[in-house]
Chain A
Amino acid sequence: ELKVEQNPLFLSMQEGKNYTIYCNYSTTSDRLYWYRQDPGKSLESLFVLLSNGAVKQEGRLMASLDTKARLSTLHITAAVHDLSATYFCAVEANFGNEKLTFGTGTRLTIIP
């Protein structure tokens, strides 16, 4: 059974600081997704990582994938308040049926 773990579960950080959210998963996969959820809203896709070494960046967020370590990171650079949200990673196991297993989420709060 595929398990996906995120840490930390809660993160409170000051504006302007850098931090990293980690996503570990338990079985072989080369497809990993990051989503953002604002309070009371649905999930919005951020990044799709499809191979070992993949790196995607948008604004102050950068995601990377190491399939050998079964690890993805979401790095936040010079955080701003607008980035406050819950971030989920999701993994598709390598049997190609499009089914995603989600992590428990990281609730990020940026303090002015």
Chain B
Amino acid sequence: DVKVTQSSRYLVKRTGEKVFLECVQDMDHENMFWYRQDPGLGLRLIYFSYDVKMKEKGDIPEGYSVSREKKERFSLILESASTNQTSMYLCASSLTDVNEKLFFGSGTQLSVL
């Protein structure tokens, strides 16, 4: 089974802290994604990556950065956390193939106080 693992299920941080959200997949997928999920807004894409050291901005990249030093690991970084970044963060991965779908991690619920 494909496994996408997010390191924390719940996180509580203070405004201004630097926050790292980690995601690891074990299926040798090229593509990795970070989404945030908010009630009434669905899932919105923050950043994605097609390969190691490559990254592309999604629809809402402001206030975030990412790192992909190894194929299996994709990190989301909040340089200076703010209260409006309180959200559920979902990592996903996929193969580059027309029939492939996204596989999601279990999510990290981040609260910024």
Taking Cβ atoms with an 8 Å cutoff, the residues of A that contact B are 4, 9, 31, 33, 35, 41-45, 48, 50, 88, 90, 97-105
Contacts and interface: CB of A to CB of B under 8 A. Distances in A.
B74 interface: no
Interface of B: 31, 33, 35, 40-45, 48, 50, 56, 58-59, 90, 92, 94, 96, 98-99, 101-107
B107 A42 contact: yes
A105 B44 CA distance: 12
Residue with the greatest number of chain B CB neighbours at <10 A, chosen from A4, A41, A44, A101: A101
Given A43-B90, A45-B101, A98 B31 contact: yes
Contact of A98 (B43, B50, B59): B50
20 contacts: A9-B40, A33-B101, A33-B102, A35-B104, A42-B105, A43-B104, A48-B101, A88-B43, A90-B102, A98-B31, A99-B33, A99-B48, A99-B56, A99-B58, A100-B102, A101-B59, A102-B35, A102-B44, A103-B42, A104-B40
Residue with the greatest number of chain B CB neighbours at <10 A, chosen from A4, A33, A99: A99
Contact of A104 (B42, B58, B90, B99): B42
